[in-house]
Structure 1
């Protein structure tokens, strides 16, 4: 190789190497690493699987510019602590259900489910076309959150009971696990309602701290083993004709996104609805 060609090639290689060195940090700076905390055990059939699908879809639809890593209940915060954790910035987003946050605002419960209320398609229609999303945004903004519905379990079952139920009178005094507006309905029927996680419900049934409870439906509930203790499983349930799942993003983190990444988050959530 001639001296002039060698120097030219060397200079080209040096420039290319310098460009690579400079480009890598710029690309890295454009990647947001988000932590998703959830109310579920990892890969729990139903919501746990859906949470991982959502994390993967946000990452994919953002072209890798938002890398979402999922943390199951208890890995960073307890399942019932995800709402506050994301609002306070401990994590960037969560996957849970609106039915868990009635202590924050009773209005939140309307976005999850209502006894004898909206089915999943009706809930979606209200949110998308009936002004529901605007109300949803308004309430959650008070807690520094941007919310999206991102799935629905459909009609939930009446629950698992240690003893057979033959009349409404048999419900009175039962220690029963439920959440949301359904829990208020159960209280009016004379049941002693307790809120707890799905795994905690198994332990409470086993110890006798609960007489009965409802969680989601056969697919999810079977994985948690309720059938081993409570042999009576009743359908239909009227407490939750649908049960919406949600993703909420820290409002500051969401507002910091460029428009195309906001759209990626929104589309990922809508793809699971």
Structure 2
């Protein structure tokens, strides 16, 4: 088989689209164009990501640019492929309309999550690296995709949350504007303790932690005269992007308080009950011979 025969076979029409015949050669050209286009798109995306990363650009902006680049490249690739095989775009008008109607009825959730994903990436109410609290689950945002958002929970488990849920439901974003978080430590001391001394010791233990901010300054309050204790509480701010930082700081304050209370002989309260008996109570000692 010579070159002329091969050329004739490749020029043989296979089917027709909008009165435009599609030959075997044009049909075989389509996957080649798509492959080359996807390779160039991935190379361009990696190149742009590397350049922006070296310039310490916001990862949320990089992620958004990647998505825009992929969508734009796919659109250009589709139009270019149709142009090379001489198929008018108008030939797909009816088909695209039918697909749109089908999506409208059968893929509402997919379209909803897709649009929600673009809203999240554009408006950025939730960004990569944010610490979220969603439906009693807490974790760090690792990736925002067009359909779902991946969150790494505090116990290491990954959650895939549909984007529409993040827009329609209440989401607590601990680090939306900054990573400053307020927390508190509550402690009860025995009655008879010097309240002023206890308040000073609690403030000293709190300021001894490097994570605790001095502006705003921690505030110690005498909360209440409890059933078994004098109740104190200290409120303070720390700079932390994860919940674990709060727990560690609170724990360190309690360790320091335990040492300071021991040095100043302050007793941490514990539940006590006084039992009052009306009348007389007679205790009978059992004879050892009766036991055997």
- Relative to its length, the structure with more strand (as a share) is 2
TM bucket, shorter chain: under 0.3
Q: Tell me the TM-score normalised to structure 2 length.
A: 0.20
With CA pairs under 8 Å and 6+ residues apart, which has the higher RCO, 1 or 2? Answer: 1
Q: Tell me the TM-score normalised to structure 1 length.
A: 0.21
